[in-house]
Amino acid sequence: METNNQKEPSAAKSLNFIHEIIEDDIRNGKNESRVHTRFPPEPNGYLHIGHAKSICLNFGTALKYGGKCNLRFDDTNPVKEDVEYVDSIKEDVKWLGFEWSGKELYASDYFETIYEYAVILIKKGKAFVCDLPAEEMGKYRGTVNQGGIESPYRNRSVDENLDLFSRMRAGEFADGEKVLRAKIDMASPNMLMRDPILYRILHTDHHRTGNKWCIYPMYDFAHGQCDSIERITHSICTLEFEVHRPLYDWFIKEIGIYAPQQIEFARLNLTYTVMSKRKLLELVKGNYVNGWDDPRMPTICGLRRRGYTPESIRNFADTIGVARRDNIIDVSLLEFCLRDDLNKHASRVMGVLNPLKVVITNYPDGQTEEIDAVNNPEDETAGTRKVPFSKVLYIEQEDFNENPPPKYFRLSPGTEVRLRYAYFITCTGVLRDAVTGEITEVYCTYDPASKGGNSPDGRKVKSTIHWVSAQHAIKAEIRLYDRLFLSENPENATEVEDFKQNLNKDSLKISEGYIEPSVKNAEVLAKFQFERLGYFCVDKDSSAESLVFNRTVSLKDSWTKTNK
RNA sequence: UGUCCGAUGGUGUAAUGGUAACACAUCUGAUUUUGGUUCAGAGGAGUUCAGGUUCGAGCCCUGAUCGGACAACCA
């Protein structure tokens, strides 16, 4: 049974540089030795594997040090955000096995307080209302190589600023007409410090506050303050926010509130994998995929449908570590983590994707027997199940080859193989379609003495293949998805067109296959081919927590190589 | 041409002044009722470069090179 319970803090698991900082802080009694982190997504898209790294880091760190971790939605831009995203994010975090401290929180919960913080800054002469249109403001800001120049509105009186700001809130001005800016330093080499915008006018309904507000704080004027209000001790974020840190600290200091510490780490990059919310959104909106949870998507829900387990993703996050240098992780490591988990926990089932009929000529007509099959060879407690066996079976097309190349061990004319858990069979002939000449049936004889899969005479076979009984098996539409998104070039998963083309090619194949009848309640069945994993998952009701195992399709074996 | 950040096998992560470790990937061999798993083993970096400090430097200092981030009324 899969559990969503949080794990105990993993004892003395490898430290990363963030843990070192935290341990120092604990040792020095900083923040009364509290540890309080937060995961702060903007609800403008679904979570992906990159977020999983951040989730595991933030929640995992809190767990490790007996602290707390908040889930806070950074909902300061109503034009992009939606409750659909809020709901999916909550679900995905829970599915990964984490529990946030108390109720989920929202930046919008603090809009009133943040407004008051702005007023404090105005009163201190540290903020002003600016009438420069966006385009002009861009020019005034200068470039990375050249300082900016001060806004002509920069020296408005405190009273005038106070008046204007309250009228902004009251809705007296149109979008873009005015903004509130901090008064810092237009000559700063850090562009972010050149009188950044604090509030903009947006006459847009917010998914939580409705039409209560028509001015909204910018990220920089909200994030640190939210951290402070929640008394977050360590505000862990990705490297691109590094240049924001001086501003983060400036606001905290000028407003005079509790100071959390922002710590940045390098975000996850995966080979062949597109990790941009914007691009993923484009694929969903353009119907290139069947929604955010399409198994080809690198989203958490896509991975879930693909058969990934929460445990495997947590292990992955743990294995890749945390550092400040740019990285690109080989997607095979992610797949290894899944395989590792599945090998221990997934129950196995037999099935065929592309059926080939096999008739056991010396097996009695109409007879059926129940074969005992092990559910998980690596876990005795998983028990066994009964699988029906009869005269007519289906095997995988690629498990038969009339003219076998060297080192092909599976069924071919004259060779003997084992039907897993059942009998040894030997191929005696084939039936061809009169017109096309294609093989439609394979004839075999079985050795009744080999029941269960072993011959009393100790005879060995080189291969074991999967099978289902034709009259008992569940016929199912089987969907083969390519693995995560993918560009031919491992590092070039950046061009939208590149992976759109990939998707259109053959990232999803549908075939009519058969699954053994022990798989109950199977409505939609899907096979997700994990490259080099060889598992297939059964997507029971397309909400799909389940995954069942299979047979092996090794893409690296010599047989495959020499035949491609 | 600015500021900040980073640089260790193919890919990641470790080594906290004492002669580079672990995982994935790759390649062998054994076992195996999944060509999976498991087990055993191999190859592969002398730590971007150049100086300096030190008995001793991947770790400290200086400079260079390369890579990344920053000029949204996005987060």
Give catalytic status of residue A277 as yes or no.
Answer: yes
| Burial grade of A79 (CB within 10 A; 0-12, 13-18, 19 or more) | exposed
Cα A510–A516–A520 angle (5° rounding)?
A: 90
Within 13 Å, how many C-alpha atoms sit on residue A159's CB side?
0
Give the whole-angstrom CA distance, residue A394 versus residue A411.
13
Closest CA to A100 of A235, A179, A6, A234: A6
Residues A390 and A471: beta-carbon distance below 8 Å: yes
Residue nearest to nucleotide B22 (CA to C1'): A319
Q: Could you tell me the sign of the dihedral formed by the alpha carbons of A220, A225, A227, A233, in that order?
A: positive
The CA-based dihedral angle spanning residues A513, A515, A516, A517, taken in that order and rounded to the nearest 10 degrees:
-110
The nucleotide closest to A199 (CA, C1' atoms): B73
pLDDT in tens, chain A (564 residues): 233 333 333 334 568 999 999 999 999 999 999 999 999 999 999 999 999 999 999 999 999 999 999 999 999 999 999 999 999 999 999 999 999 999 999 999 999 999 999 999 999 999 999 999 999 999 999 999 999 999 999 999 999 999 999 999 999 999 999 999 999 999 999 999 999 999 999 999 999 999 999 999 999 999 999 999 999 999 999 999 999 999 999 999 999 999 999 999 999 999 989 898 998 998 899 888 889 988 889 999 998 888 888 999 999 999 999 999 999 999 989 989 988 888 888 878 888 888 999 999 999 999 999 999 998 888 889 899 999 999 999 999 989 999 998 888 899 999 999 999 999 999 999 999 999 999 999 999 999 999 999 999 999 999 999 999 999 998 877 777 776 676 667 775 556 666 677 666 667 777 788 888 877 644 333 433 344 444 555 554 443 333 344 443 333 333 333 322
Q: Quick check: pTM over 0.90?
A: yes
> ipTM strictly over 0.90?
yes
Place of tokens 């095997």: A395
Give catalytic status of residue A267 as yes or no.
Answer: yes
Q: State which H helix or E strand residue A356 sits in.
A: strand A355-360
Q: CB of A537 under 7 A from strand B?
A: no
Residues A287 and A233: beta-carbon distance below 8 Å: no
The two tokens of residue A59 are 């929640």
Residues 6+ apart with CB under 8 A from A177: A131, A201
The two tokens of residue A336 are 């290894």
Residue nearest to nucleotide B10 (CA to C1'): A330
Residue nearest to nucleotide B73 (CA to C1'): A200
Q: CB of A549 under 7 A from strand B?
A: yes
- Bases of chain B with protein Cβ within 7 A: 1-8, 10-16, 23-27, 33-38, 67-75
The nucleotide closest to A40 (CA, C1' atoms): B75
Find the catalytic residue in A30, A80, A90, A267.
Answer: A267
The nucleotide closest to A142 (CA, C1' atoms): B71
The nucleotide closest to A404 (CA, C1' atoms): B35
